[in-house]
Amino acid sequence: MRSRGVLQTQIEMVVPFFDVDSMEVVWHGHYVKYFEEARCALLDRLGHNYRQMREAGYAWPVIDLQLRYIRGAQFGQRLLVRADLVEWENRLKIHYLISDAASGERMTRGSTVQVAVEIASREMQLASPRVLVEAVERALA
């Protein structure tokens, strides 16, 4: 099991019918969407979400995505999706864990890496913009 990040958040969701395939299991691509929901909640908790990132002049594309499927989720299943902030000074790295809300059983884990790109110049930044670092520092205080 991965260690927790410096800041985490968790959302609860119920698997909707339109996310399952003909085998009544969540189609593998939808787990990325679940990660995104938890990541947005984490960024809101930081006080520096995607809208605020854009207003500060930066886009944050995902440049790496890792997933490990352990057990398929099913229609109507209640899931907990946790996002853990593990890196932020040079890039934004977040670990995820999806588990069954009732049993706590691990379903899927993964991580994403995002980098700051200055919108005006379209140049990738080698360090996270000060505005993000300060948001993390405020959240940790």
Provide the pLDDT confidence category of residue 4 given band limits of 50, 70 and 90. Answer: confident
The domains of the chain are located at: 7-140
Q: What are φ and ψ of residue 54, in 5° steps?
A: -65, -40
CATH 3.10.129.10 given to domain 7-140? yes
pLDDT of the residue at 3: 66
Q: What are φ and ψ of residue 21, in 5° steps?
A: -95, -170
d(C-alpha 23, C-alpha 21), whole Å: 5
58-78 burial: b if 16+ Cβ within 10 Å, else e: bebeeeeeebeeeebbeeebe
Burial class (CB in 10 A: 0-12, 13-18, 19+), 92: buried
At 21-61, the pLDDT tens digits run 988 899 999 999 999 999 999 999 999 999 999 999 999 99
Residue 1, pLDDT above cutoff 60: no
SS3 6: coil
Are the C-beta atoms of 9 and 41 separated by less than 8 Å? yes
At 50-95, the pLDDT tens digits run 999 999 999 999 999 999 999 999 999 999 999 999 999 999 999 9
**What pTM, to 2 d.p., does this model score?**
0.94
d(C-alpha 134, C-alpha 130), whole Å: 6
